[in-house]
Amino acid sequence: MLKSTALILLSVLIFFLSGCEIKPEPPKQPVIDKTLPQVGDIKFLTEVSAIGFEWEPSFDGRVEGYYIYRSTPNSQSDKLQRVATIDDKYSSHYVDTKLQPETMYYYRFSTFSKEKRESVPSETVSASTLPLLESVSFVKAITGLPHRIKIIWRPHASQRVEAYLVEKNEFNSTQWKQIAKVNGRLSAEYIDAGLEGNHMFRYRIKAQTYDGLISKPSQIVEAGTKPLPKMVKGLSASYDIPKKVSLKWEAATEKDFSYYKIYRTLNPLLFDSYLAKTQDTSYEDLINANGRSYYYVVTSVDKDGLESLKQEVSTKGGTLTIPAPVYITSSSHDGRSITLAWKNQDGRAIKYNVSKEFSQKWSDKKEVITGIPSTSFNDTDVIRGVEYKYNVVAIDKYGLSSEDSQSILIKMPKE
């Protein structure tokens, strides 16, 4: 009955006193006193990283305490080093901690006197630590989620498990990093959120017991975040429309397409800014200016908010410029009328306006003759002795006016 109680107490010591460590004295050559009683009836219990011992204490008046010797892993059993000194002969328990899992160790015990003489060592006791706890038996990573990966597993069968450690590894790395601790044995999932789209990762799970023991890693599972929508293709931008730029592109092919986002910038070397969104494959950028240029990119967005990459090269578009000014090629008079002729430099003009200015003693006058369909004009409304100034403006089909041509001065003779 007493031995059974002692073993129970020893088991409790392994779990609750495994953090305690008795510092040994510096190793030295022992002086053996064969008359001192030996340590006997040594029992032990093992854990993953600890071994607990129990022995029959000695009540001999010469005994002060006990020395405990241990081999290092993979060393010979006769090469032991002192690892603990117990100064109370009434003690009968010791827990050796911070050991390697699944490893054989060899121990010897001896009593020592007040003069630090030692008894003949006990028989060598061999004890092996337990292997690491197995991890969860099933783990799965859910792939194809937007900006996240969901990991699920089967709860561990051991009642000793307190939590799960989730570790992640990127494909271009050999290092594993703990990203989460999930408390509770029955907890069975973790969502790794805030990830980049279309990225692959590896995951594994370790179980942690109430006393801090960590299991072996689970099987490795791989998963990737949902791919980004495909890049928008076929983007074009107009140059030949007044006061607006017309954008067009090919339709997205994804089933979960939601809308397009349009961006623009004045300079392709600068950051572009958000302009608008649409579900159509075209967009009109209204601009209250002639000859204004912008650079555009268009992206596709799916129902989960994932946005495609932008085009590597932006597309330039702009509003229509005003027509080129006309060039007056000749001017003459026959004494009764003035004739002007000019050249349309860009071919856009469909009509012309002629501006006419002159001065008389009583007033200055200016008038505009509009809608001239040809590239010449004969002015019969002239007065002898008066100087006239003419300018010609080209008008295109949109009603855009060119700048004034060069000015022509013609003075009618008095006679």
Q: Do residues 292 and 318 make contact, with C-beta atoms less than 8 angstroms apart?
A: yes
CA distance 286 to 70: 86
- Res. 342: pLDDT tops 90: yes
- Res. 4: pLDDT tops 80: no
- Determine the 3-state secondary structure of 332 from DSSP: strand
Q: Where are the domains of the chain?
A: 2-128, 139-224, 236-318, 327-411
- Percent of the chain residues topping a pLDDT of 70: 91
Burial class of residue 363 (count of CB atoms within 10 Å of its CB; 0-12, 13-18, 19+): exposed
CB atoms within 10 A of CB 8: 11
Superfamily of domain 236-318: Immunoglobulins (2.60.40.10)
Give the pLDDT band of residue 213 (cuts 50, 70, 90).
confident
- Report the pLDDT value the prediction gives residue 28, as an integer from 0 to 100: 64
Closest CA to 151 of 97, 207, 222, 217: 222
Average pLDDT of the chain is 90
* C-alpha to C-alpha distances, 271 to 191, 196, 267, 277, 294, nearest whole angstrom: 34, 21, 8, 18, 12
Q: Do residues 383 and 305 make contact, with C-beta atoms less than 8 angstroms apart?
A: no
- Beta-bridge mates of residue 342: 328
CA distance 240 to 398: 10
Exposed e or buried b for every residue in 69-91, given b needs 16+ CB within 10 A?
bbbeeeeeeeebebbbbbeebee
The first and second tokens of residue 314, run together, are: 């932006």
The first and second tokens of residue 295, run together, are: 């650079």
* C-alpha to C-alpha distances, 335 to 50, 272, 365, nearest whole angstrom: 125, 62, 21
Give the pLDDT band of residue 19 (cuts 50, 70, 90).
very low
- Asked, colleague to colleague, whether 236-318 and 327-411 share their fold, the answer is yes
Q: Domain 139-224 adopts which CATH fold?
A: Immunoglobulin-like (2.60.40)
Q: Looking at 185-270, list the stretches that DSSP marks H as alpha helix, in order from N- to C-terminal side.
A: none
Q: What is the pLDDT of residues 69-83, one digit of tens each?
A: 998 766 655 578 999
Q: What is the pLDDT of residues 143-199, one digit of tens each?
A: 999 999 999 999 999 999 999 999 999 877 889 999 999 999 999 999 999 998 889
Lowest mean pLDDT, pick from 37-46, 205-214, 354-363? 354-363
Q: Looking at 175-304, list the stretches that DSSP marks H as alpha helix, in order from N- to C-terminal side.
A: none
CA distance 283 to 295: 14
- Res. 396: pLDDT tops 90: yes
> pTM for the complete prediction?
0.62
- Res. 10: pLDDT tops 60: no
Architecture per CATH, 327-411: Sandwich (2.60)
Closest CA to 108 of 89, 126, 128, 85: 126
The top-level CATH class assigned to 2-128 is mainly beta
Rg of the chain in Å (alpha carbons): 48
Residue by residue, DSSP assigns 335-399 as SS-EEEEEE-SSS--SEEEEEEEEEETTEEEEEEEEEE-SSEEEE----TT-EEEEEEEEE-TT-
